[in-house]
Amino acid sequence: MNDRADIVHEAFRARLARGDLPAASGGRKAEGGDRHLLAEIFRSQVTSRHLDRHARTLQARGEAFYTIGSSGHEGTAAVAAAFRPSDPAFLHYRDGAFLVQRAQQVPGQTPVWDMLLSFAASAEDPISGGRHKVLGSKALNVPPQTSTIASHLPKAVGAAFSIPLANTLKPEHRAYARDAVALASFGDASVNHSTAQGAFNTAGWTAYRGTPLPLVLVCEDNGIGISTKTPGGWIEASISGRPGLHYLTCNGLDIADTLAAAREAEAIARRRKRPVFLHMTCVRLYGHAGSDMQTAYMTQKEVEAAEANDPLLHSAGLLIETAGLSKEDCLSIYDEVDAQVAAVAEEAIQRPKLGGAAEVMASLIPPRRGAAPSNGPSKAEREAAFGIDARNLDTPQHMARLVNWALTDLMLEHREIVLAGEDIGPKGGVYNVTAKLHERFGPARVINTLLDEQTILGLSIGLAHNGLLPIPEIQFLAYLHNAEDQLRGEAATLSFFSNGQFTNPMVIRIAGLGYQRGFGGHFHNDNSVAVIRDIPGVVLACPSNGRDAVLMLRESLRLAREEQRVVVFLEPIARYMTRDLMAEKDGLWTFVYPPPGDPAIGLGEVGVHGEGRDLGIVTYGNGVFLSRQAQHDLAAKGVAARVVDLRWLAPLPEAALLEATADCDAVLIVDECRRTGSQSEALMTLFAEARPELRVARETAEDSFIPLGRAATATLPSRESIAEAAVALLGRSGKRRKLS
């Protein structure tokens, strides 16, 4: 008998039978009226324990996958008991007991059955539909979390932030009660992660400024992260003095103490709207996960010391001492639940698994939701909001102003839209795109965030959970990388792992790409979007001009609002202020603002400029601008080209693109992003597969970062290089060449 789970199991029964129970911890005492609740908590703890044990057996039989247990952390059941099931809870992976206990608060729940289905990766698993072993439940307001530690903390801050905000903005799809509290739990080692630190900092910063934030952060301190020990006293030393965070501590082995501390935390968060850090000490039993051999990094004595502190023994001792239960009562609860879990497990493993790729992928794209029809902003509202700008609505403008106006109209039309980003407030953003919005809509809807991209996206995810419609801004494309996990690991996976039950629709505006004159270097002129393009389910939009930007932003907002999509809206910085295309003062890159109600540019619709059939130039962003110039130059050489503006980079508008180039003799792909990993690779493949006979070439940026100064565009496609590549593709004469 080597498995530590068996050892702990036998020890529990034997010690209970002998009455060899740990002494009372000396922590806070339960109130008289809590006896029944403590017994219920004990049952939840026992249930979670047996779920762990049977999951291990199932895994050994090849019937369960990825077991990471809650054993030792069962004190979380007492935390759950202090909150309402309507309080959103973003849970640590060791919170089985929390989930079981919360299920007691809602009629009709079957947590054992549900969790076993998840362990068995059954398609009937009610939370992930068989996609992962996650703790979660729609009915219990527990969104599933990915296994990336700490990545759920920024959105928990956002969810807490959304609660008072939603009281003001009253979004149509609001999910949380007026006085809800957001909860998030995590391990002690996770506290060190920069994502966690960022979330604590944001929570503290927010409270320090006096902004309400009903949030409880629960640190489950078992003293170790996989094999790396947390220095004794570290959590308290590093957290307890942080400004804005109310620090509380409790003994997670003592459910009376934990319940009392959790209630205190709940009261501070709910009544005073202050963030609380609840530090719960506990133990970890059976090692980190299924196959972990603890003795590689812990002494036998340490392992046994943790086991001797089995929380179930502590709870049994407490119940016997204070709640009138006998040893026999505790033992019979333990054995009865064991038998129940064993029986349910045998049934759960029989349930169907996910079939083919289509079933797996069914929740990558969230379901559509009903959204109240809107008549658009009223005339009076518009006049008030646009103010002096209204005079210019009929004169052509550059992209920065057109995007600003589109945002204005969208914010007038949809009260639930909230902007969030660095310097987007009174300054109006680095490029003035959000100018006057702060003044027009106030600081609640135009949030000047602190300087942390993870916070910006996490905040937005949390807002979206509560029905608000965030439009976060990342100041420069290169800085998305500081937070890409919030997009890739969090926002994009939520629908997938929750079988479409939880969503976080948003439109992330990012200023990016190259060609800025006299400014930048590689961070302000980053030219790769590979990291966005390959995320399943995410829409990537990239307008090339102001008119398209308006019409695509409206479509992006619709995709988020009605289809719950996560959209990245990439704005080419270099075109923000561009007015002219061919010659000075020609004004060809300015456009009259298309009023609300004009048909939007739908997802998958491409733009076509010109009718030339010799060559189709397929491009996007700045490439459209340069290709239009090259188109002009090529015409002078007798080459009739058309420029096809992709507009949408992910998913690629394949059908529309093939149609737009169907009668072209050749195709030149102009891609301003770095050759490796650029959209040109996908486009070359598309044409090779769809039209193998077609002559196709590409003109891309070099695999280089962008330098400063005069050489700023040296590695990028240019008007001249595009024309040259076109001529080379078509043959020296530049004349149309018949296909053989």
Q: How far is the CB of 486 from ligand TPP (least distance, A)?
A: 12
- What CA–CA distance (Å, rounded) separates 562 from 372? 9
Which string of DSSP letters, residue by residue, matches 647-695?
-EEES--HHHHHHHTTT-SEEEEEEEEESTTSHHHHHHHHHHHH-TTSE
Q: Which of 180, 189, 239, 337 binds ligand TPP (CB under 6 A)?
A: 189
Closest CB to Mg ion among residues 213, 306: 306
Residue 252, interface with ligand TPP (CB under 6 A)? no
CB-nearest residue to Mg ion: 187
Residue 187, interface with Mg ion (CB under 5 A)? yes
Closest CB to Mg ion among residues 187, 428: 187
Q: How far is the CB of 570 from Mg ion (least distance, A)?
A: 39
- What CA–CA distance (Å, rounded) separates 14 from 502? 44
Residue identified by tokens 């009668």 is 663
Q: How far is the CB of 189 from Mg ion (least distance, A)?
A: 5
Region near ligand TPP per CB under 6 A, out of 36-44, 144-152, 262-270, 711-719 = 144-152
User: Could you tell which of Mg ion, ligand TPP, none binds residue 147, using a CB distance below 5 to 8 A set by kind?
Assistant: ligand TPP
User: Could you tell which of ligand TPP, Mg ion, none binds residue 273, using a CB distance below 5 to 8 A set by kind?
Assistant: none
Q: How far is the CB of 551 from Mg ion (least distance, A)?
A: 50
What's the half-sphere exposure (Cβ side, CA atoms, 13 Å) at 302?
14
Residue 294, interface with ligand TPP (CB under 6 A)? no
Residue 72, interface with Mg ion (CB under 5 A)? no
Q: Which of 508, 539, 169, 564 is nearest to 370 (CA)?
A: 564
Task: Judge contact between 516 and 532, C-beta under 8 A.
Answer: no
Residue 366, interface with ligand TPP (CB under 6 A)? no
Task: Judge contact between 538 and 650, C-beta under 8 A.
Answer: yes
Chain centroid to Cα 702, Å, comes to 32
Region near ligand TPP per CB under 6 A, out of 187-195, 198-206, 338-346, 462-470 = 187-195
Q: How far is the CB of 689 from ligand TPP (least distance, A)?
A: 37
Q: How far is the CB of 47 from Mg ion (least distance, A)?
A: 22
| Window 270-289: contact mask with ligand TPP (x via CB under 6 A) | --------------x---x-
Region near ligand TPP per CB under 6 A, out of 220-228, 336-344, 429-437, 665-673 = 220-228
Q: How far is the CB of 225 from ligand TPP (least distance, A)?
A: 3
Residue 187, interface with ligand TPP (CB under 6 A)? yes
Residue 225, interface with ligand TPP (CB under 6 A)? yes
- What CA–CA distance (Å, rounded) separates 382 from 692? 52
Per the structure block, which two tokens stand in for 501?
């039950």
Contacts made by residues 31-39, CB under 8 angstroms, sequence distance 24+? 34/256, 34/259, 35/322, 35/323, 35/324, 36/323, 37/81, 37/259, 38/255, 38/256, 38/259, 38/315, 38/318, 38/319, 38/322, 38/323, 39/319, 39/323, 39/325
- What CA–CA distance (Å, rounded) separates 475 from 472? 10
The letter for the amino acid at 359 is E
- What CA–CA distance (Å, rounded) separates 460 from 93? 23
Region near Mg ion per CB under 5 A, out of 86-94, 183-191, 290-298, 610-618 = 183-191
Q: Which of 52, 74, 95, 188 binds Mg ion (CB under 5 A)?
A: 188
- What CA–CA distance (Å, rounded) separates 445 from 169? 9
Residues in contact with Mg ion, counted by CB under 5 A, come to a total of: 5
Q: Interaction with Mg ion in 221-260: which residues (CB under 5 A)?
A: 222, 225
Residue 413, interface with Mg ion (CB under 5 A)? no
Residues 6+ apart with CB under 8 A from 585: 579
Closest CB to Mg ion among residues 189, 365: 189
Residue 227, interface with ligand TPP (CB under 6 A)? no
Closest CB to ligand TPP among residues 87, 220: 220
Q: What DSSP state is assigned to residue 176?
A: S
Per the structure block, which two tokens stand in for 64?
């369960």
User: Could you tell which of Mg ion, ligand TPP, none binds residue 603, using a CB distance below 5 to 8 A set by kind?
Assistant: none
Closest CB to ligand TPP among residues 193, 270: 193
* Rg of the Cα atoms in the chain: 29
User: Could you tell which of Mg ion, ligand TPP, none binds residue 94, using a CB distance below 5 to 8 A set by kind?
Assistant: ligand TPP
Residues in contact with ligand TPP, counted by CB under 6 A, come to a total of: 16
Per the structure block, which two tokens stand in for 77?
């059941």
Residue 94, interface with ligand TPP (CB under 6 A)? yes
User: Could you tell which of Mg ion, ligand TPP, none binds residue 263, using a CB distance below 5 to 8 A set by kind?
Assistant: none
Largest CA distance in the chain: 98
Q: How far is the CB of 235 from ligand TPP (least distance, A)?
A: 10
Closest CB to ligand TPP among residues 94, 263: 94
Residue 528, interface with Mg ion (CB under 5 A)? no
Residue 118, interface with ligand TPP (CB under 6 A)? no
- What CA–CA distance (Å, rounded) separates 430 from 175? 34
Task: Judge contact between 486 and 150, C-beta under 8 A.
Answer: no
- What CA–CA distance (Å, rounded) separates 686 from 692? 9
User: Could you tell which of Mg ion, ligand TPP, none binds residue 554, using a CB distance below 5 to 8 A set by kind?
Assistant: none
Q: Which of 17, 20, 61, 147 binds ligand TPP (CB under 6 A)?
A: 147
Task: Judge contact between 505 and 566, C-beta under 8 A.
Answer: yes
Q: In what order do the strands lie in the sheet with 469-474?
A: 446-448, 417-421, 469-474, 506-512, 566-572, 539-541, 648-650
Residue 460, interface with Mg ion (CB under 5 A)? no
Strands 666-674 and 615-619: parallel
Residue identified by tokens 């539909």 is 129
Cα angle: 712, vertex 569, 650; to 5 degrees: 95
Chain centroid to Cα 712, Å, comes to 34
| Window 190-219: contact mask with ligand TPP (x via CB under 6 A) | x-----------------------------
Q: Which of 21, 117, 149, 213 binds ligand TPP (CB under 6 A)?
A: 149
Closest CB to ligand TPP among residues 531, 640: 531
Task: Judge contact between 376 and 566, C-beta under 8 A.
Answer: no
Residue 610, interface with Mg ion (CB under 5 A)? no
User: Could you tell which of ligand TPP, Mg ion, none binds residue 190, using a CB distance below 5 to 8 A set by kind?
Assistant: ligand TPP
User: Could you tell which of Mg ion, ligand TPP, none binds residue 141, using a CB distance below 5 to 8 A set by kind?
Assistant: none
The residues of the shown chain that bind ligand TPP, judged by CB under 6 A, are 94, 147-149, 186-190, 220, 222, 224-226, 284, 288
- Residues in touch with Mg ion (CB under 5 A): 187-189, 222, 225
